A = this chain, B = another copy of it.
């Protein structure tokens, strides 16, 4: 039987271990997988565009496990009171091709995006950072805040969103989570005194959420929302005086803030910074940008983390999604009633965690 983690069980599990410990474990697994970057088969995602949005499949494998995420991006979904981004994913065994685990990934994508942001910030933001601005207070904003509290102790937030109700929603959630939250009147007001600026807006256009005059020396910009062709958040002038760090360059050149730059502009891959091969922040005056677009290895690590934590628990349910006849050449026997056995197969698969 395949194992499945549904939404309610993920919520119960996160509530049982606590949000910050969950972030810690997830961030550690993502960082461990960034450290073995070379072991992964890195494919560009397969995107299917329509007038309403995009549906993507994001596969990767490390030679032992294969994982993929199904994810959509539909900016107008909120008009139907639906999520802009939903996702689920799967982990399989490379040696047999057998699926092992299916999981919700909508909440998990929000968690892993926050965990990846703070993993980058640990190497790129000033060590004494204590104030973060968050521009864009939609579905992902609290997850960004919680990740930075869990890993960097950031408790002072300055929020801005063009939707006042969204700001107030986020303040209410984060007040209750122990933050000191200021609601700004403008983006300029929001970034005043901020050591870290997180942009996580949803509009699908080349926007200038941050303009050059807003950026003081020493700031780290965590640019999360610009993540597909034609969707950016930073004025180009900011990029030209910053040091820019990315996940997977082949993808970021197409989807990230750097789609605004010439292809010979210098960028640094985050995994090389984590491994100490390249420098992260080198001075207190430097402006750093993490041009985050989200990469398959982050989802792979999330699936692996959830499966490792939960595989022997009641949080997972069994799903009978794969026929495993007694005689592999007699698939038809399942239909004519001569083989009623739909076997357990996990004990036949070498790479079960």
**Does A319 sit at the interface, judged by CB under 8 A?**
yes
User: In the complex, what residue of chain B is closest to A320 when comparing beta carbons?
Assistant: B6
**Most interface-central of A14, A327, A337 (chain B CB within 10 A):** A327
Q: How far is the CA of A140 from the CA of B329 in the complex (A)?
A: 8
Integer count of this chain's copies in the complex: 2
Q: State whether A322 and B177 are in contact (beta carbons under 8 Å apart), knowing that A81-B328, A97-B77 are contacts in the complex.
A: no
Q: How far is the CA of A41 from the CA of B50 in the complex (A)?
A: 10
Residues of chain B within 8 A of A313, CB atoms compared: none
Residues of chain B within 8 A of A142, CB atoms compared: 331-332
B interface footprint on A75-118 (CB within 8 Å = 1, 0 otherwise): 00110111110101010101111110010101100100000000
Residues of chain B within 8 A of A6, CB atoms compared: 319-321
Q: How far is the CA of A83 from the CA of B326 in the complex (A)?
A: 10
Q: How far is the CA of A279 from the CA of B280 in the complex (A)?
A: 65
**Does A348 sit at the interface, judged by CB under 8 A?**
yes
A337 to chain B, nearest CB (A): 8
Q: How far is the CA of A11 from the CA of B173 in the complex (A)?
A: 47
Judge whether A328 and B92 touch: CB under 8 Å.
no
What bracket does the count of chain A residues touching chain B fall in? Answer: 35 or more
Residues of chain B within 8 A of A237, CB atoms compared: none
A327 to chain B, nearest CB (A): 7
**Does A131 sit at the interface, judged by CB under 8 A?**
no
Residues of chain B within 8 A of A319, CB atoms compared: 4, 6, 319
| Chain-B contact segment, one of A62-70, A259-267, A285-293 | A62-70
User: In the complex, what residue of chain B is closest to A46 when comparing beta carbons?
Assistant: B46
**Does A166 sit at the interface, judged by CB under 8 A?**
yes
Judge whether B19 and A329 touch: CB under 8 Å.
no
Residues of chain B within 8 A of A61, CB atoms compared: 48, 50, 55
Judge whether B169 and A330 touch: CB under 8 Å.
yes
Residues of chain B within 8 A of A81, CB atoms compared: 326-328, 348
**Most interface-central of A41, A90, A104 (chain B CB within 10 A):** A104
B interface footprint on A2-17 (CB within 8 Å = 1, 0 otherwise): 0010111001001100
Residues of chain B within 8 A of A177, CB atoms compared: 336
Judge whether B99 and A88 touch: CB under 8 Å.
yes
Judge whether A331 and B43 touch: CB under 8 Å.
no
User: In the complex, what residue of chain B is closest to A80 when comparing beta carbons?
Assistant: B348
Q: State whether A342 and B7 are in contact (beta carbons under 8 Å apart), knowing that A80-B348, A328-B78, A331-B110 are contacts in the complex.
A: yes
Q: How far is the CA of A19 from the CA of B332 in the complex (A)?
A: 11
Judge whether B106 and A329 touch: CB under 8 Å.
no
A330 to chain B, nearest CB (A): 5
Q: Which of B50, B54, B173, B324 contacts A332 (CB 8 A)?
A: B173
Judge whether A143 and B332 touch: CB under 8 Å.
yes
Judge whether A41 and B48 touch: CB under 8 Å.
yes
Within 8 A of B (CB), among A308-353: 319-338, 342, 345, 348-349
Q: How far is the CA of A98 from the CA of B76 in the complex (A)?
A: 13
User: In the complex, what residue of chain B is closest to A163 when comparing beta carbons?
Assistant: B329
**Most interface-central of A78, A96, A99 (chain B CB within 10 A):** A96
User: In the complex, what residue of chain B is closest to A64 when comparing beta carbons?
Assistant: B50
Judge whether A329 and B86 touch: CB under 8 Å.
no
Interchain Cβ contacts under 8 Å between A and B, 17 examples: A4-B319, A15-B335, A43-B48, A48-B59, A50-B94, A52-B97, A55-B92, A57-B57, A70-B90, A74-B97, A81-B327, A82-B96, A83-B322, A88-B321, A102-B321, A139-B325, A139-B331
